[in-house]
Copies of this chain bind each other. A is one copy, B any other.
Amino acid sequence: MSIEGDVRAVALRGREASFELALATRATKDDALLGMASALLASSDQVLAANADDVGRAEASGTPANIVDRLRLTPDRLDAMAQGLREVAGLPDPVGEVVRGSTLANGLELRQIRVPFGVVGMIYEARPNVTADAAGICLKAGNAVLLRGSSSARSSNTAIVQVLRDAAVEAGLPADVVQLVPGDSHESVKALMRARGLVDVLIPRGGAGLIRSVVEESTVPVIETGVGNCHVYVDAAADLDQALAIVLNAKTHRTSVCNAAESLLVHADLTQTFVPRVVEALTEAGVTVHGDAEFAAYDGVLPATDDDYAAEYLSLDISACVVDSVDDAIAHIRRFSSGHTEAIVTRDQATARRFVAAVDSAAVLVNASTRFTDGGEFGFGAEIGISTQKLHARGPMGLTEMTSTKYVVTGDGHVR
């Protein structure tokens, strides 16, 4: 059978399993999640052995150390995966929530209720912990999941998925609520993207290239995630100590994440005061500043191009420029932002209101680090990614965002 046929067969089994899962009670789903957590720990030897194969292959083929690190599982990381599944079990069930309801003038009762999507496809990169995280969140929201991880993690993912499937069956659910998508090539991703009618939603997690290719080629509806060219704007009325702390945190706390700051905008009034101070602090922290003429006047600052302002560095680099006003900052953000997260530092209420209203990003922060855009920080309990699109979900996605709704209308013979 062709890869396309294989993928469609898997999707069809997921669809069948989703019918049963959609009707499962919270108790059954939580049993499955807790069982999965225990089984992962009980099977840690097999999972770690499978992971050692992947890591060995990656090292032998000269994979960079930071990628190998993401790929590597340890007893601690397995513990964290199990703990994640337990936490999802502890969250309320989104399915069945009444979103809105009323009795219409003719006596019909109208309720809009949360229901699972059905089948969710996840496309992601090397981290094998995503396999358990995504399966857990999808299961709790009543969705069968089709997992297409990186081929470099195939042994790990195969072992993890086998453990999760067995635990699902143990709890009385079909094994096919969790499946691995067959095939290592782009053909299998492509088949998943074209499985319209079998797959309800596709969530690509990864770099800009992966997301662009999914957006271009998919006929299945997509939730775009995670590309973050995040800005910090330091206003003329900023508390400069706060501003410095926020810029340093947003840039250096963790560089490889989508909510790290990639660009710094500073009001012209601060050219003589804050600019030298922030350049010095960033440089000391090991950050390379790519700046406009005002910034490039300082030692170690490289001249910035439009490519710098558009870049999601994911490294110890930041682009920087001076702007004449909050409106110029907004205009710069409109031009270069990926719509993920932008922050303003200001003590001026009117300026903060203007920035919040005019900046069209998933999250807009006032006097806080961009790093707070995160499902965990927002209190969602679990996060499957951060949507940077405007349709359906925007910003961190938790269990609620992994559901659709339907209208239930009840009458007694109504025709008018």
Spell out A's residues near B (CB within 8 Å): 19, 22-23, 102, 104-105, 108, 110, 112, 115, 117-118, 196, 200-201, 215-216, 219, 221-223, 239, 241-242, 245-246, 249, 253, 334, 345, 352, 356-358, 360-369, 371-373, 377-379, 389-392, 394-396, 404-416
Could you tell me the distance in whole angstroms from the C-beta of A21 to the nearest C-beta in chain B?
A: 12
Tell me if A's interface is mostly helix, strand, loop or mixed. mixed
Could you tell me the distance in whole angstroms from the C-beta of A316 to the nearest C-beta in chain B?
A: 17
Residue of B nearest to A411 (CB): B368
Q: Is the CB of A409 within 8 A of B221?
A: no
Residue of B nearest to A239 (CB): B413
Residue of B nearest to A249 (CB): B415
Contact for A366 among B23, B117, B410, CB less than 8 A: B410
Q: Is the CB of A390 within 8 A of B200?
A: yes
| A365 CB contacts on chain B under 8 angstroms | 408-411
Distance of A221 Cα from B222 Cα, bound (Å): 8
Residue of B nearest to A395 (CB): B407
Could you tell me the distance in whole angstroms from the C-beta of A227 to the nearest C-beta in chain B?
A: 13
| A19 CB contacts on chain B under 8 angstroms | 334, 358
Q: Is the CB of A395 within 8 A of B406?
A: yes
Q: Is the CB of A413 within 8 A of B118?
A: no
Query: Given contacts A115-B360, A415-B246, are A378 and B392 in contact (CB under 8 A)?
Result: no
Distance of A412 Cα from B347 Cα, bound (Å): 9
| A410 CB contacts on chain B under 8 angstroms | 352, 365-368
Q: Is the CB of B102 within 8 A of A379?
A: yes
Q: Is the CB of B249 within 8 A of A367?
A: no
Residue of B nearest to A197 (CB): B339
| A216 CB contacts on chain B under 8 angstroms | 219
Residue of B nearest to A250 (CB): B415
Could you tell me the distance in whole angstroms from the C-beta of A149 to the nearest C-beta in chain B?
A: 23
Q: Is the CB of A246 within 8 A of B413?
A: yes
Query: Given contacts A117-B390, A245-B413, A389-B221, are A377 and B407 in contact (CB under 8 A)?
Result: no
| A373 CB contacts on chain B under 8 angstroms | 407, 409
Q: Is the CB of B110 within 8 A of A378?
A: yes
| A377 CB contacts on chain B under 8 angstroms | 104, 108
| A334 CB contacts on chain B under 8 angstroms | 19
Q: Is the CB of A378 within 8 A of B104?
A: yes
Distance of A175 Cα from B396 Cα, bound (Å): 35
| A249 CB contacts on chain B under 8 angstroms | 415-416
Contact for A414 among B356, B367, B391, B412, CB less than 8 A: B367
Query: Given contacts A358-B23, A390-B118, A392-B391, are A367 and B415 in contact (CB under 8 A)?
Result: no
Residue of B nearest to A330 (CB): B19
Could you tell me the distance in whole angstroms from the C-beta of A362 to the nearest C-beta in chain B?
A: 6
Could you tell me the distance in whole angstroms from the C-beta of A240 to the nearest C-beta in chain B?
A: 11
| A115 CB contacts on chain B under 8 angstroms | 360
| A242 CB contacts on chain B under 8 angstroms | 412-413
Q: Is the CB of B364 within 8 A of A221?
A: no
Distance of A52 Cα from B409 Cα, bound (Å): 42
Return the 6 tightest CB-CB contacts between A and B, nearest first: A242-B413, A368-B411, A390-B404, A249-B415, A392-B392, A368-B414
Distance of A345 Cα from B352 Cα, bound (Å): 55
Q: Is the CB of B411 within 8 A of A366?
A: yes
| A357 CB contacts on chain B under 8 angstroms | 22-23
Query: Given contacts A219-B216, A372-B108, A379-B102, are A363 and B404 in contact (CB under 8 A)?
Result: no
| A413 CB contacts on chain B under 8 angstroms | 239, 241-242, 245-246, 345, 367-368
Query: Given contacts A118-B390, A408-B356, are A415 and B369 in contact (CB under 8 A)?
Result: yes
| A406 CB contacts on chain B under 8 angstroms | 360-364, 394-395
Contact for A412 among B367, B369, B407, CB less than 8 A: B367
Query: Given contacts A23-B357, A391-B223, are A409 and B108 in contact (CB under 8 A)?
Result: no
Query: Given contacts A362-B407, A365-B411, A413-B245, are A104 and B379 in contact (CB under 8 A)?
Result: yes
Distance of A141 Cα from B414 Cα, bound (Å): 32
